[in-house]
Amino acid sequence: MVTESSSAAAASLGALSTPEIEARVQVDRSSKQVIVLYWGAALFWLTFASIAGIITSIKLHNPGFLGGIEWLTFGRMRAVHWDTAIYGFGGVAASGTLLWLQARLCQVRMPYTKLLIAGGLVFNVGILLGVIGIFMGQSTGVETLEFPLWAMPFLVVPYVFIVIANFTMYFQKKTTHTYVSQWYLMAVTVWFPVLVLSAEACTNLGAVDGVAQAIANWWYGHNVVGLFATPTGIAAAYYLIPKVIGKPIHSYHLSLLGFWANAIFYNWAGTHHLTGGPLPAWTITLGVVGSMMMFIPVITIGINHHMTMVGSFHLLKTSPTLRFAVMGSMMYTFASFQGSLESLRSHQEITHFTHYTIGHVHLGMYGFFAPLMFAMIYYAMPRLMNREWSSARLIRIHFWCTLIGTAIYGGAMCYAGIRQGMMMNDPSVPFLNIVQFTVPYLQLRTLGGVILLAGTVAFLINFVRIVTPHKFTWASPTMLDTDRDWKDILKAEKGAEAAQ
Amino acid sequence: MEKRLHPKDAGGFCVFGVFIFIWSFALISGTVMVWLLAWAIRRGEFRDLRQGARMIFDEDEPVGIVTDHFPGEQPKW
């Protein structure tokens, strides 16, 4: 409760405005247009990808659904779903997060904002063109690189601007130390261009053939998640969890060890997707070893994220950012353990080519990566827009939909996948029986997808309201840089307690 | 019927160029990363890690201040 005496204390502190605060507000404001564009576009693509995913999912238990329209056949819808999820939502949301976090941690104004806005627009046009290409049947057939080649320059060129802006901010930084999140963010901008250009060269540009092309394909397919989406998610968690609860991370030494271990080991893991394929055995063994070594960064990151939270779990009730960030970091630990174990040949005997893998991917992307992007948006948007989210209820709906939707989706797919794999290994079980067995779980998956979409819509409503101020205003903004009342009250109360 | 380009058809142009590109890219980015690590060590980035962990806090939002809560609700400590 706010008492009268503390209000008086707050009034005396109310005029407090240090250069530090001014600088932070300026840094945030300088990035406003860029970040709103990137995150708005990301939410559009997330909605788009969710709808595409649901249509794809329905087709698996009702094969005739929309079957008469060639643009919406399974082969095209699935590619559209994944590519818009990874590039449209993942790529754009991660780029927005990267730029905002880097500006904040370097304490510099965002450079080249016009270039970044133009780049963001071109990037989104590129995704749109790619999607149209796939719809028209021009998919390359290389998973995760399905966009036709002519759409790729639209994706690659704007990313150069992001790389330049990122390093410009870093080399202009006013801080003396490089925070662990910054290591991840800078690594992403180095890794991603190398990944995408090399993979395109080795697959769609045809530098290599056959098995080598499959290796390049899965080297990329795995790394685009692990060296592009994941580091951004981890960077967000390393900033948000300590920042929200007001406690430095548990072990900073471990966090740096985790970063370098991730950088060294993740790159090798991709070939575990090709277990049982016509590859030299050592390439797959290399993938399995790389996957098992990932336990080192995963454990160090897990220790840091979870141990930092110890003693602060009660804040989950009151902080939307923390809810999503903690959900994301917990799911990171879970999905990473699952993924490492999944790479083992003995495990793959059962789960390879089953729904289990699909369950794992969604636990990673929608259980870990997406919530951390949501957390970032929930934390940053009020500070960028200088106004509060319009509805706490919509935030709660979004959170519970994300949690329950992911649980239903992941649970149904992983369980069905294990059963499916065991039945497929038993020659006495007719294949049709296996297909029929999976139908209820595929329906559950559609349900999970619909729940996730409902959450996204709630988020979208809140997002539209916060960027269109004239229609929806919140009576008493709470946690903004300029409206500092409650913070001062809390500080005054804490000071009084300490004095006693 | 559109003729699909077989990778081999583009081979003469691609294979050599692509490998030069990939290897030089890998070598350059690898060298840059090693140089950056050396630069960071020289700069003293890893000298005082305990303080480094606290760089996200400042006078306005110091350690111990909770900086997020549901809109329109009382912040909890």
* Residues A300 and A257: beta-carbon distance below 8 Å: yes
Domain boundaries, chain A: 18-492
Q: Is the dihedral of CA A249, A263, A202, A340 positive or negative?
A: negative
pLDDT bracket for residue A439 (50, 70, 90): very high
- Residue A132 CB neighbours (<10 A): 15
DSSP string of A219-257, one letter each residue: HHHHHHIIIIIHHHHHHHHHHHHHHHHT---S-HHHHHH
Give the integer Cα–Cα distance in Å for A483 and A491: 14
Q: Do A247 and B55 touch (CB under 8 A)?
A: no
- The pLDDT of residue B12 is 53
**Mean local confidence (pLDDT), A381-393:** 88
> Nearest by CB to B49, which of A253, A320, A391?
A253
Gap from B62 CA to chain A (nearest CA, Å) = 7
Which of the listed ranges A210-214, A378-382, A388-392, B61-65 does the model predict with the highest average pLDDT?
Answer: A378-382
> Nearest by CB to B55, which of A179, A478, A491?
A179
Place of tokens 């406690």: A247
Domain boundaries, chain B: 23-57
Q: At what angle do helices A320-342 and A295-309 cross, to 10 degrees?
A: 150
**Mean local confidence (pLDDT), A468-497:** 54
Q: How far is CA A410 from CA A273, A320, A405, in A?
A: 19, 23, 8
- The pLDDT of residue B77 is 52
- Which amino acid is residue A371, in one-letter code? P
- The pLDDT of residue A258 is 93
pLDDT tens profile A117-170: 999 999 999 999 999 999 999 999 999 999 999 999 999 999 999 999 999 999
- The pLDDT of residue A335 is 96
A486 in reach of chain B (CB within 8 A): yes
- The pLDDT of residue A48 is 97
Q: What is the mean pLDDT of chain A?
A: 89
Give the integer Cα–Cα distance in Å for A145 and A158: 17
> Nearest by CB to B72, which of A105, A179, A392?
A392
Can you tell me whether residue A469 is helix, strand or coil? Answer: coil
A475 in reach of chain B (CB within 8 A): yes
pLDDT tens profile B13-49: 556 776 777 788 778 878 887 888 898 888 888 888 8
Which of these CATH numbers, 1.20.210.10, 1.10.1330.10, 1.10.510.10, 3.40.50.150, describes A18-492?
A: 1.20.210.10
* Residues A179 and A146: beta-carbon distance below 8 Å: no
* Residues A414 and A358: beta-carbon distance below 8 Å: no
**Mean local confidence (pLDDT), A104-112:** 92
* Residues A199 and A145: beta-carbon distance below 8 Å: yes
**Mean local confidence (pLDDT), A423-448:** 96
Gap from B11 CA to chain A (nearest CA, Å) = 6
**Mean local confidence (pLDDT), A5-16:** 39
Q: Considering chain A, what percentage of its residues have pLDDT values greater than 70?
A: 90
- The pLDDT of residue A207 is 77
**Mean local confidence (pLDDT), B69-73:** 82
- The pLDDT of residue A103 is 94
Q: Do B70 and A319 touch (CB under 8 A)?
A: yes
Select from B1, B77, B46 the least CA-distant residue to A253: B46
**Mean local confidence (pLDDT), A297-325:** 94
Select the more confidently predicted residue: A102 or A202: A102
Give the integer Cα–Cα distance in Å for A322 and A202: 41
Residues of A in contact with B48 (CB under 8 A): 177
pLDDT bracket for residue B76 (50, 70, 90): low
Res A177 pLDDT > 90: no
Mutate to test the interface with B, among A21, A25, A176 (most CBs of B within 10 A): A176
Place of tokens 């065991």: A422
Can you tell me whether residue A2 is helix, strand or coil? Answer: coil
Select from A190, A170, A182 the least CA-distant residue to A232: A182
Q: Is the dihedral of CA A258, A259, A265, A271 positive or negative?
A: positive
| Burial class for A210, CB neighbours closer than 10 Å (0-12, 13-18, 19+) | exposed
- The pLDDT of residue B68 is 87
pLDDT bracket for residue A201 (50, 70, 90): confident
Select from A311, A359, A302 the least CA-distant residue to A329: A302
Gap from A476 CA to chain B (nearest CA, Å) = 7
Gap from B31 CA to chain A (nearest CA, Å) = 12
Residues of B in contact with A474 (CB under 8 A): 71-72
Res A42 pLDDT > 80: yes
Q: Do A391 and B71 touch (CB under 8 A)?
A: yes
- The pLDDT of residue A300 is 96
